[in-house]
Structure 1
Amino acid sequence: MKTEISTSQKKSFFRKKPLYLFEQDIKKNELRKVLGKWSLTAIGIGAVIGGGIFVFTGTAAHYHAGPALALSFVIAGIGCVFAALCYSEFASMLPVEGSAYAYAYGTVGELFAWVIGWGLVLEYAMGAMTVAVSWSGYFVKLVHLLGFDIPFWLRNDPFSANIYAQQAGLEKPMFALNLPALLIVWVVTYILVKGIKEAAGANNLIVVLKVTAVLFVIIVGIFYVVPSNWHPFIPEATVITGEDGTPRQAYGWGGIVSGASAIFFAYIGFDAVSTQASEAVNPRKDIPFAIIVSLIFCTVLYLLVSIVLTGMINYKEIVGEALKAPVAYAFDKVGQTWAVYIITFAATAGLISVMLVMMLGQTRVFLSMSKDGLLPSFFHSIHPRFKTPWKSTLLVGLIVSLVAALTPIDVLGEMTSFGTLFAFAIVCIAVWLLRKREPERERPFRVPAINIIAPLGLILNTILIWQLSALSKQLAIGWLLLGLIIYFGYGRKNSHLNKIELND
């Protein structure tokens, strides 16, 4: 049944997209429906297991939680579970590619939808940039292990290259870029333009590889655990000098909570499953399944890895180069140098699937926003042969590759976390409001104990946002303000809601 909106609603910043328009979008879908529940689950796992487990565990253990790193993963995981349940209810109701943006548009209104869609750029595009730089670091380490070295001015952005030259007593280079990061982004872009089936196939292969590597770390590493490294499990709260040279509170329960914010990047990506609704065979059932299963599976692996890592090496020793590759460093320290090759190779390959899912999710959010008129039609131009949003994919690839190649991305990890936590909080609010306002609407999947889970999800994700650094919060808010300028300058007057029938 068609639901019309009044003139007053049409002019409101909180005008909502009627359900029948979502149904029309589903019927007019031009993307190929080739993803089953296990392919969707693999996409979730492929996005989640990556830089977080191979990189941020060291930082979180040394600067935040100590041996209690596992508790940080539990707190972050609980916040994700609450959000995942809310995502699952929405995905079963609105199986469209816009993820949290689309859910907000149908429930809390256009302005919120725009802000959350623009905020998702912080999660997906900037997340892809961060991962591209992390991949470059592992790739450089891998080729070094194989006996080759890439010139420093071809593996660092201009700013980092100048710092490296100064510290090494070398002449500053006239030109520098992170070439490995640039090239890998274009490899991923090519796969994404070629088609979702090819992208899913590549992702499945990489997921098997890196899950095997994580299981290897757990099974082999447990034989080198020294129980005294876990004592005290929760170190006494103190003030230490952070990575940026400023003092910060660490350890104790405060450190555990701030550690949850620091490693939250490790969980980013499971919500990208919801952006694949238009390419899923049975989205109403399979997307909730994939979101929940991928999150639970990855959380269990993260807990086990964090326990093994802090048992193999004392958290106070994770400094310098060990911060960049703590898992590999731990095996090197216990004399298992051969394991470093396996871990480095798996991390290098595994990060590719994270980039793939991040960029895949970004183009699908842009696709949904463009279909609603909030972005130009350029973003929903579908390739006649590959059936992918190829123009949008090429643009995202260009921006991600250039930023990753030319910019030091120190705070992008936290900005990515901001975008994700912000989206999670809005989804928890939206699903709660919709259950109150439209309890009769069909819900193939329902969040259990909604009056407990949704508020707790909102509170916990907001607390984690508050724990992020002041600079990352300031930059993220600046990004959201830029988005509002674009909305009022273009999106609001071009919204398709301006053209639908009125009911006065």
Structure 2
Amino acid sequence: MTWVATVTVPAIETEGALTYATRFLPFTTAATAGGEVQHVLTPLGYATAVVLLAVFVLLNYFGVKLFAQINNVLVWWKLAIIVLVIVVFLITALGTTQMGSPANFTSHGFAPGGVPGVFVAISTAGIVFSFVGFRQGIELAGETRNPKRNIPIAVIGSVGITAIIYAALQVAFTLGVPEKLLGHGGWEKLSFTNDAGPLAAIATIAGLGWLAFLLYVDAVISPADTGLITTAVSSRVSYALARNGNAPAFLARRNRHGVPWIGLLVTFVAGLIVLLPFPSWQQLVGFITSATVISFGVGPLAVGALRRVEPQRERPFRLPGKDVIPLLGFYAANMIVYWAGWQTNQKLFATILLGYLILLIWQLVGRARGSRPTLDFRSGAVWLLPWFAAMALISWLCDPEAHPELFGWVFLINAVVTVVIYVLALRFRMPRARTDELIAEAEEEGAEEATSSPTS
């Protein structure tokens, strides 16, 4: 699921970039699906998506140094545009009558569409998706010189700075919406005719045409930059799968720049496939959010298990609270997956089932070649399969859209599932000897990587 969650992101970011670039050329067209208007790729859009995905691969092929130089420029551009929007919106909204007013915060009450909508939006409206960039600092940590210092800065810094910026942007947006637009159904019915970008639409209404233009340019650059980053990450995940024996060994081949180039090609092909059944940016967001978060769910369980089986091992990073934070993290992952809804999760669990079938085939092939990876089935499947089964059942029976009356009960149901699965995972964790063996193997491979990787 980690691989699925990373390899599909370049496609969704390309889709997002082209959705906003439709302002300039017909890359997408409006289509109605499930009663909602969505933007789907045109033939020109799909052809352009292919070119963009190829550019991501090409830029990553020449190593981390080139990738980092390009990414640094684009990140500073994105930050500058967001801060500019916040400042201009606040000044304009508070100083003129063309935009909204502080009354926008209270005029229609708290959560006028109902509290469930707030939680569902976390999964389906891109809220979680907007924060998952913190993982890239971890997944590319093997290519930093001082991970002990840099990883905490990257993870905590990215989440904290992003939260502050998004909160400020939301305040500016709420103030910026003209009151006349809220007079036709309130926040639930808020829409901007013939305009895919709400921030640019508000800027246009306020007579800030120059800012609207910058926003449209940024709406193309920002997702394209994220697509570039996740292309790098997904190739490293493919590389790691191969090194762990869970994927063909050729995925671990690197070019003279130290880049797993075959993994890049796999990401490119996967992106082309993903764009076919999910032609709309909106359709992709919920799926990738669920795939990403359910892959995160394994982390808290690993922390709890390693604390018990390796209590004396040196820890550069220390997490207080014993099992409290791992349990809360696992619970949050389960709730976010549920909020995505059954329409999205049925695709997620179908993908998980397909992954298990592929893993089974790979086991049989590996046995024939004498290179079958050890699955440690007892330590994994005893809790993993019941976890997936429980999450699928809850999502189906208590779907937020089909059964809104059960929405509140799922907070309690998922709490029980979280504790039970957590206890199961710790009860059937790997024994100390097996854990030591795997850690020693990882340390040996890490030392080998450090001596064989190019300086780039």
Settle same-fold status: TM greater than 0.5: yes
Correspondence for 1:231: 106
Letter in structure 1 aligned against 2:270:
I
TM-score, normalised via structure 1 length: 0.64
Q: Does 1:278 align with 2:142?
A: yes
1:407, distance to aligned residue in structure 2 (A): 4.8
TM-score, normalised via structure 2 length: 0.70
1:236, distance to aligned residue in structure 2 (A): 5.3
1:432–1:232 CA distance, 2 compared to 1 (3 A) = farther
1:379–1:236 CA distance, 2 compared to 1 (3 A) = closer
Q: Gaps spanning 5+ residues in structure 2: where?
A: 34-40, 94-99, 376-432, 438-456
1:444–1:332 CA distance, 2 compared to 1 (3 A) = same
The correspondence for 1:397, drawn from 253, 264, 268, is: 268
Paired with 1:232 and 1:161, the residues of 2 have a C-alpha distance of 32
| Contact 2:3–2:238, Cα closer than 8 Å, also in 1 | no
Letter in structure 2 aligned against 1:259:
A
1:267–1:321 CA distance, 2 compared to 1 (3 A) = farther
| Contact 1:124–1:361, Cα closer than 8 Å, also in 2 | yes
1:355, distance to aligned residue in structure 2 (A): 0.4
Correspondence for 1:134: 16
SS at match of 1:450: coil
Letter in structure 1 aligned against 2:199:
V
The correspondence for 1:201, drawn from 48, 65, 69, is: 69
Q: What do you get for the CA RMSD once the two structures are aligned?
A: 2.8
1:292–1:121 CA distance, 2 compared to 1 (3 A) = same
The correspondence for 2:48, drawn from 177, 180, 183, is: 180
Letter in structure 2 aligned against 1:195:
G
Identical aligned pairs, as a percentage? Answer: 21
Paired with 2:43 and 2:352, the residues of 1 have a C-alpha distance of 33
Q: Does 1:215 align with 2:83?
A: yes
1:351, distance to aligned residue in structure 2 (A): 1.5
Paired with 2:211 and 2:89, the residues of 1 have a C-alpha distance of 10
Q: Summarize deviations over 1:154-199 as a string: whole Å, max 9, x none.
A: x24xxx68889xxxxxxxx996652222211111111011111111
1:374–1:448 CA distance, 2 compared to 1 (3 A) = same
Paired with 1:121 and 1:323, the residues of 2 have a C-alpha distance of 34
SS at match of 2:257: coil
Q: Summarize deviations over 1:275-323 as a string: whole Å, max 9, x none.
A: 1122111223322221111111111101111121122114346325577
1:300–1:484 CA distance, 2 compared to 1 (3 A) = same
1:322–1:432 CA distance, 2 compared to 1 (3 A) = farther
Letter in structure 1 aligned against 2:260:
P
Q: Does 1:256 align with 2:118?
A: yes
Q: Summarize deviations over 1:27-78 as a string: whole Å, max 9, x none.
A: xxxxxxxxxxxxxxxxxxxxxxxxxxxxxxxxxxxxxxxxxxxxxxxxxxxx
Correspondence for 1:477: 349
Correspondence for 1:425: 297
1:402, distance to aligned residue in structure 2 (A): 5.2
Paired with 1:491 and 1:290, the residues of 2 have a C-alpha distance of 37
Q: Gaps spanning 5+ residues in structure 1: where?
A: 1-118, 145-149, 165-172, 238-249
| Paired residue total | 348
Q: Does 1:120 align with 2:120?
A: no
Correspondence for 2:286: 414
1:332, distance to aligned residue in structure 2 (A): 1.6
Q: Per chain length, whose mean CA-contact separation is higher, i.e. which structure has more relative contact order (CA < 8 Å, sep 6+)?
A: 1
Correspondence for 2:248: 376
1:306–1:122 CA distance, 2 compared to 1 (3 A) = farther
1:260, distance to aligned residue in structure 2 (A): 2.1
1:375, distance to aligned residue in structure 2 (A): 0.4
